[in-house]
Chain A
């Protein structure tokens, strides 16, 4: 590891926190959306009376939470990461670092770490919001939720890296990121949580990195009784394959000047 990595990390983290819009979207947007939808959309807060016990006492927000967690991953991966790296390239930050003993790769690593912390904070806020406001229970299989979350982060951050790999300007990266962000919301089930999702969209979503993550977390959170599945094997494989393809491609195509 290069000398000064710690200083680079702490300085970059402090500067990151000075962008109010990015901070809001990365950290607070998921929980605000979750609470907002919960109170605005009729029926979401009601108990699922026709569901098998013990879920007949729980609110439909239990289906919504995994979608919001997927959204928190997609937000950082597609709105924050591509813009950050393309702006570094545009402003000559990567080139400036190349003239010092610190490798420019380090600042990319530092920002992946910062954004990993951001997505963890955003997700914990969303989980806390769902539990406190709507009484969403703890997951049936926490391990499956965690695995689907981590692999979702890996696949989506790789996608974000690839989006930023060639973009000459922050605005270019932002445009491409947004183009991918809206379909991501769709396949994560943000508009059609849980059973409300049409079959064709569910099948399509299963093979996208963020759709697979959302479905994996749903299966882990609600369990076999509600979803009819124990382990999201296909979704896990899908996310591993996406990561294995996107990450090396992003690294290979990344332009340092």
Chain B
């Protein structure tokens, strides 16, 4: 038997509190543990204020944890932050450059700090910044600033890249382009620790992830496993031409009465929603075909990480996020 490859990042029982007003303590991270394997995109997902950024700041050795153990590439970033600077690239949430520094200058300046930097030209091409090399930071678009920020995190040729909320404030096209880029970074052999509060981003990008809420891990796994782990019910929405809707409703109601795979049938306006087991779609289509009923439109209602969050936290995700922003 061979030992499995040691994890790139290993976090055990991390805890971090801050002093609040009048002697109170605010618990930012209560008890967080996870391990990240080589070459994966590992997500830390959770609503604003869940403790995600504090967690990665402790992993990056930028903050002292109260307790817990952290190991990054075999080093302890808490005891010796300098030991991981060469091998861990960090992209922080806020802009971090002088307004008047150009893309090229920033890249070459940061490259000079590392013992074995990446090829600056290659990175500029990879991040689609080669045509903007002479542009000053203040004149870059939001997407370009974000790409430069990622480029700077990669310029030291790191084994691990920590990316914090990297698509916040980007338009949909720029977000998708950034996602493709993160996958390319992973495919080049870099382990990515991705912090995000976007469910869709985590679902699309992460090989594995933890969902954090209130400073603790509430769920861990691959996006598919987490979603499959929910209850086994499925839902299908169908739309028919108005003259056929009543007949279809009758057929489906009959199916629900004696079929094992269909649990409920509900009509709302011109749509009929059918819920049941994993085989519900098959049963519905078969019954309709037998009666020569062809729906105008069929949609399966897919489950997402949002449903996973609701199940584990007992709250809706969106409400929490809005409440945090409002506060």
Interface centre among A19, A92, A101, A257 (most CB of B within 10 A): A101
CB of A95 within 8 A of CB of B113, answer no
CB of B109 within 8 A of CB of A101, answer no
CB of B109 within 8 A of CB of A4, answer yes
- Beyond A4-B109, A99-B62, A101-B113, 16 additional pairs, beta carbon < 8 A: A2-B113, A3-B112, A4-B113, A7-B109, A11-B105, A15-B98, A15-B105, A91-B97, A92-B92, A92-B95, A95-B62, A99-B85, A99-B88, A99-B90, A101-B156, A102-B113
Residues of B within 8 A of A18 (CB): 100, 136
Given contacts A92-B96, A95-B96, contact A3 B108 (CB under 8 A): no
A selection of 16 A-B contacts at a CB cut-off of 8 Å is A3-B115, A4-B112, A4-B113, A4-B114, A8-B112, A8-B113, A11-B109, A19-B100, A91-B96, A91-B97, A91-B98, A92-B95, A93-B97, A96-B96, A100-B113, A101-B86
Q: Does B101 contact A (CB under 8 A)?
A: yes
Interface centre among B60, B85, B112 (most CB of A within 10 A): B112
Residues of B within 8 A of A96 (CB): 92, 96-97, 152
Residues of B within 8 A of A19 (CB): 100
A-B contact number at CB 8 A? 69
Q: Does B82 contact A (CB under 8 A)?
A: yes
Select from chain B the residue with minimum beta-carbon distance to A94. B96
Interface size on A, residues (CB 8 A): 22
Scoring B residues 150 to 183 as 1 if CB is less than 8 Å from chain A, else 0, what string do you get?
0010001000000000000000000000000000
Q: Does B110 contact A (CB under 8 A)?
A: yes
CB of B156 within 8 A of CB of A93, answer no
A100 to B100, CA, bound (A): 21
Residues of A within 8 A of B115 (CB): 3, 101
Q: Does A98 contact B (CB under 8 A)?
A: yes
CB of A100 within 8 A of CB of B105, answer no
CB of A100 within 8 A of CB of B110, answer yes
Residues of A within 8 A of B88 (CB): 99
CB of B92 within 8 A of CB of A93, answer no
Q: Does B94 contact A (CB under 8 A)?
A: yes
Residues of B within 8 A of A95 (CB): 62, 92, 96
A95 to B92, CA, bound (A): 9
CB distance from A126 to the nearest CB of B (A): 27
Given contacts A3-B115, A15-B101, contact A100 B85 (CB under 8 A): yes
Scoring A residues 1 to 34 as 1 if CB is less than 8 Å from chain B, else 0, what string do you get?
0111011100100110011000000000000000
Select from chain A the residue with minimum beta-carbon distance to B156. A100
- When the two chains form the complex, which single residue of B62, B95, B113 contacts A91, counting CB atoms closer than 8 Å? B95
Residues of A within 8 A of B62 (CB): 95, 98-99, 257
Residues of B within 8 A of A257 (CB): 62
A102 to B98, CA, bound (A): 17
Given contacts A3-B115, A100-B156, contact A11 B101 (CB under 8 A): yes
CB of A15 within 8 A of CB of B100, answer yes
Select from chain B the residue with minimum beta-carbon distance to A87. B98
Closest 7 pairs between A and B when the two form their complex, measured CB to CB: A4-B112, A96-B96, A7-B112, A99-B90, A92-B96, A102-B113, A4-B113
- When the two chains form the complex, which single residue of B60, B82, B89, B96 contacts A93, counting CB atoms closer than 8 Å? B96
CB of A101 within 8 A of CB of B114, answer yes
CB of B82 within 8 A of CB of A101, answer yes
- When the two chains form the complex, which single residue of A4, A8, A14, A99 contacts B60, counting CB atoms closer than 8 Å? A99
Select from chain A the residue with minimum beta-carbon distance to B106. A11
Residues of B within 8 A of A92 (CB): 92, 94-96
A147 to B136, CA, bound (A): 40
A66 to B319, CA, bound (A): 66
A101 to B105, CA, bound (A): 18
Select from chain A the residue with minimum beta-carbon distance to B60. A99
CB of A7 within 8 A of CB of B114, answer no
Select from chain A the residue with minimum beta-carbon distance to B89. A99
CB distance from A248 to the nearest CB of B (A): 24
Scoring A residues 127 to 147 as 1 if CB is less than 8 Å from chain B, else 0, what string do you get?
000000000000000000000
A96 to B152, CA, bound (A): 10
Scoring A residues 63 to 85 as 1 if CB is less than 8 Å from chain B, else 0, what string do you get?
00000000000000000000000
A91 to B93, CA, bound (A): 11
Residues of A within 8 A of B90 (CB): 99
CB of A7 within 8 A of CB of B94, answer no
CB distance from A18 to the nearest CB of B (A): 4
CB of A101 within 8 A of CB of B100, answer no
CB of A100 within 8 A of CB of B92, answer no
A101 to B110, CA, bound (A): 9
A257 to B156, CA, bound (A): 22
CB distance from B107 to the nearest CB of A (A): 10
Interface centre among A11, A19, A93, A102 (most CB of B within 10 A): A11
CB distance from B159 to the nearest CB of A (A): 14
Given contacts A91-B98, A92-B94, contact A3 B113 (CB under 8 A): yes
